[in-house]
Amino acid sequence: MARRDSHETLRRLDLNLLVVFDAMIRFGSITRAAGHLGMTQSAASHALKRLRGFFGDPLFVRSGQGMLPTSRAEEIGRSVAEIVAVLRNTLLTRTGFDPSLADRDITLFLHDYGELVILPALAAELRAAAPRCRIKVAPVSGDSLIKGLEEGWIDLAISGPAAFSGEVLQQRLFDAGYAVAASTAARFAEPLSAEAFAALDQVVIRPVRPDKLPVDTLLVESEMPRRERVVTPYTMAVPALLAANPDMVAIVPGAFIASPSAAGLIRRVETAFGFPSVPVFQYWHRRHHADPFSVWLRGVVRRLFGGGDDPTAPAPAAAGGGARPI
């Protein structure tokens, strides 16, 4: 009798409702969940009403931080996420993915370099191939980034070397080199020697997390001094600063100098020394490896920015087995 009752209960559950529930857990907002799924807000609200009736619980309550899950919603959230992952990664894999018909958010994690150099070309390609999709950059880091990749509300991370758990996969895209930049009006004896470089006033890019700027570590290791005159966390500030101060230089990603973001205000200074390049990877979670959308998105990124390592290789784990967030 109990078995028959459980079957009757399951018959009343529309699997589409679980997809809405999963999106609500991930986004904490009816509007964002609806946008991600390509639904109207009214349809998402109706689905949430049906879910509340089925489970006999409010499931999500309003707060200053959005729609927070109740204890009952948290209790069933992981099970629902696993069910949705199975549906996406196995049962639906053979249906493929048609980007021209997709209507969803494409959420990326990019550092400053990625937003300036990678995002313009990537956005143009994604807009052409998937015109109904919305491209978003997630302002997250650390554990939030790892959680976002696992839960799927961040589709892809593009960054330099990072250590994760073995559940995060990686693919090497290209090697990013650094160069000395100066105003287009600057005149130096070139190639610039290491001694002459050390004697020049510099604009230094130092993000809030300085460990994310590998060139600083490289300079320390080479014992090359820097005359820091202006320090900023923003790469975008460099072209205007150098244009107004043609006697100063800055170390920037080489690709940034010729990018539209630099507005033609700076040029590469030829040097008698160089900097080691830094590999750039795309990262995604193993849970979404076979998802048709993820396969397509990674293919677009690889085609635009080059091939690299085995695309199924796990990202290197941090010492002690924990994940070191990028």
Kindly report, residue by residue over 38-52, the tens digit of the pLDDT.
788 888 899 899 989
> How many helices (H) and strands (E) in the chain?
13, 12
> What is the greatest pairwise CA distance in the chain?
90
pLDDT of res. 319? 39
Q: Kindly indicate the confidence band of residue 269, based on its pLDDT and cuts at 50, 70 and 90.
A: very high
Is 304's pLDDT higher than 90? yes
Cα angle 92, 97, 101; round to 5 = 120
Task: Tell me how far apart the alpha carbons of residues 170 and 105 are, in angstroms, rounded to a whole number.
Answer: 22
Enter the DSSP assignment of 270.
Answer: P
Tokens of residue 132, six digits? 């109904």
Model confidence at 108: pLDDT above 90: yes
> Which residues pair with residue 136 across a beta bridge?
107
Please give the Cα distance from 324 to 220 (Å, whole number): 22
Within a domain: 193? yes
Q: Do 197 and 286 fall within a single domain? A: no
Into how many domains does the chain fold? 3
Residues 195 and 271 in one domain: yes
- Cα–Cα distance measured from residue 146 to residue 33, given in angstroms and rounded to the nearest whole number: 20
Is residue 127 within 8 Å of residue 135, measured between CB atoms? yes
On whether the CB atoms of residues 296 and 99 are closer than 8 A, the answer is: yes
Segments forming the whole domain that contains residue 144: 102-175+279-321
Task: Give the CATH number of the domain where residue 249 resides.
Answer: 3.40.190.10
pTM check: above 0.75 = no
State whether 80 and 18 are in the same domain. yes
Residue 187 shares a structural domain with residue 262 = yes
* 214: amino acid identity, one letter: P
Instruction: Tell me whether residue 258 is in a domain.
Output: yes
The verdict on residue 148 lying in a domain is: yes
What pLDDT does residue 163 have? 74
66 located within any domain: yes
What's the pLDDT at 8?
56
114 and 256 both lie in a single domain = no
Query: What is the sign, positive or negative, of the torsion defined by CA atoms of 111, 116, 119, 121?
Result: negative
Mean pLDDT along residues 16-39: 86
Residues 50-79 have pLDDT tens digits of 989 888 999 999 887 788 999 999 888 888
299 Rama class: left (phi>0) / alpha (psi -120 to 50) / beta: alpha
Asked whether residue 97 is domain-assigned, the answer is: no
> Average pLDDT, whole number, for the chain?
83
Asked if 312 and 169 sit in the same domain, the reply is yes
The reported pLDDT for the residue numbered 96 is 64
* pLDDT at position 214: 56
User: Are residues 78 and 33 located together in one domain of the fold?
Assistant: yes
DSSP 3-state assignment of 308?
A: coil
326 domain-assigned: no
* CB distance 160 to 176 below 8 Å: yes
**pLDDT of residue 21 exceeding 70:** yes
State the pLDDT at residue 216.
64
Q: How do residues 181-207 score in pLDDT, each as one tens digit? A: 999 999 999 999 989 998 999 999 887
